[in-house]
A and B are shown apart, each in its own frame.
Chain A
């Protein structure tokens, strides 16, 4: 008779477990965030806008226009987008560095190219430029904005872009660095 009680007990425990389980709650969190996908999209399209600008009305003007377009489009999804970018263009003996600031307030970019440092002040929603004279076919860039330092290596024979963008919605924040 002892064994039957174990069976009944087991059944009872099973019933408790199955009816007590929160059926619609998942252990693993579902993917709900669309912001990382939008940042991937912008990482692909900003360099594309730059290339179209080189063949069109100018890389900086085109990039500025596309950034404003992206900020508006992100805003329609409830996302606050801020970004800055630097465009590096070879002028033969010098490298022209154009900076676009869409971070909401004026910023000073401390730009270091292969050891030489210059400060570039850019007003909110506008652009400014400076020149450097690095040697060699490639040069290292580091940018300091609001204490954040980042950068990479650029090739001299192509117009390059370095950008940092931030997408914010409520407490969610996605940051992306673009180097192309």
Chain B
């Protein structure tokens, strides 16, 4: 009888250790950055590629939208892209949702000086 209890105690001890390890890894160590940071990561990764600057200068928001989508940082979020010039004219879609997170990146121009801000809107349905 004593051996049975010893075995049960050992199992419980093992379970405690496993549960602690699981709790630590899932609740305490898996840190998710804030939503705009996901956006900045996506924009930065796209910005590092050659076409980004040309797309921004041409106000090609759909091209940039494809680039940020391809980075994989925006999984779980709906998103739209807008490209705005210095004069304030914008190409692209600004979503009319209740909670929208925004990330933006500035581009001085491509072949000539033509400052643009690329704005990434993120939201959840």
Residue of B8, B32, B44 touching A30 (CB-CB under 8 A): B32
B residues apposed to A, CB below 8 Å:
2, 5-6, 8-9, 12-13, 16, 19, 23, 27-29, 31-34, 36-37, 40, 44, 47, 86, 102-109, 112-113, 115, 117
Nearest-neighbour CB distance to chain A for B89, whole angstroms, equals: 14
Residue of B8, B28, B113 touching A7 (CB-CB under 8 A): B8
Determine the distance from Cα of A178 to Cα of B107 in the docked complex, in whole angstroms.
Answer: 17
Taking a contact as CB atoms under 8 Å apart, the answer to whether A26 and B106 are in contact is no
Determine the distance from Cα of A76 to Cα of B86 in the docked complex, in whole angstroms.
Answer: 13
Taking a contact as CB atoms under 8 Å apart, the answer to whether A6 and B9 are in contact is yes
Taking a contact as CB atoms under 8 Å apart, the answer to whether A48 and B108 are in contact is yes
Taking a contact as CB atoms under 8 Å apart, the answer to whether A56 and B36 are in contact is no
Please name all residues of chain A whose beta carbon is closer than 8 Å to the beta carbon of B105 when the two chains form the complex: 41
8 A-B pairs (CB sep. < 8 Å): A10-B16, A14-B19, A18-B19, A28-B29, A30-B32, A30-B34, A42-B106, A52-B108
Taking a contact as CB atoms under 8 Å apart, the answer to whether B34 and A52 are in contact is no
Determine the distance from Cα of A62 to Cα of B113 in the docked complex, in whole angstroms.
Answer: 8
A73-B117 contact given A10-B12, A21-B27, A56-B112, CB 8 Å threshold? yes
Determine the distance from Cα of A38 to Cα of B108 in the docked complex, in whole angstroms.
Answer: 14
A11-B19 contact given A48-B108, A49-B113, CB 8 Å threshold? no
Identify whether the interface residues of A are mostly helix, strand, loop, or mixed: helix
A residues apposed to B, CB below 8 Å:
3-4, 6-7, 10-11, 14, 18, 21, 23-24, 26-34, 37-38, 40-42, 45-46, 48-49, 52-53, 55-57, 62, 65-66, 69-70, 73, 76-77
Taking a contact as CB atoms under 8 Å apart, the answer to whether B103 and A34 are in contact is yes
Q: Smallest CB-CB separation from B110: which chain A residue?
A: A52
Nearest-neighbour CB distance to chain A for B68, whole angstroms, equals: 14
Nearest-neighbour CB distance to chain B for A17, whole angstroms, equals: 8
Residue of A11, A53, A57 touching B12 (CB-CB under 8 A): A11
Taking a contact as CB atoms under 8 Å apart, the answer to whether B33 and A21 are in contact is no
Please name all residues of chain B whose beta carbon is closer than 8 Å to the beta carbon of A42 when the two chains form the complex: 106
Residue of A7, A28, A41 touching B5 (CB-CB under 8 A): A7
A45-B5 contact given A31-B34, A34-B37, CB 8 Å threshold? no
Taking a contact as CB atoms under 8 Å apart, the answer to whether B33 and A37 are in contact is no
A14-B16 contact given A7-B8, A27-B28, CB 8 Å threshold? yes
Determine the distance from Cα of A73 to Cα of B40 in the docked complex, in whole angstroms.
Answer: 15
Determine the distance from Cα of A141 to Cα of B108 in the docked complex, in whole angstroms.
Answer: 26
> Lowest 9 A-B CB distances belong to which pairs?
A49-B108, A31-B33, A32-B34, A52-B113, A37-B40, A69-B115, A48-B108, A73-B117, A45-B108
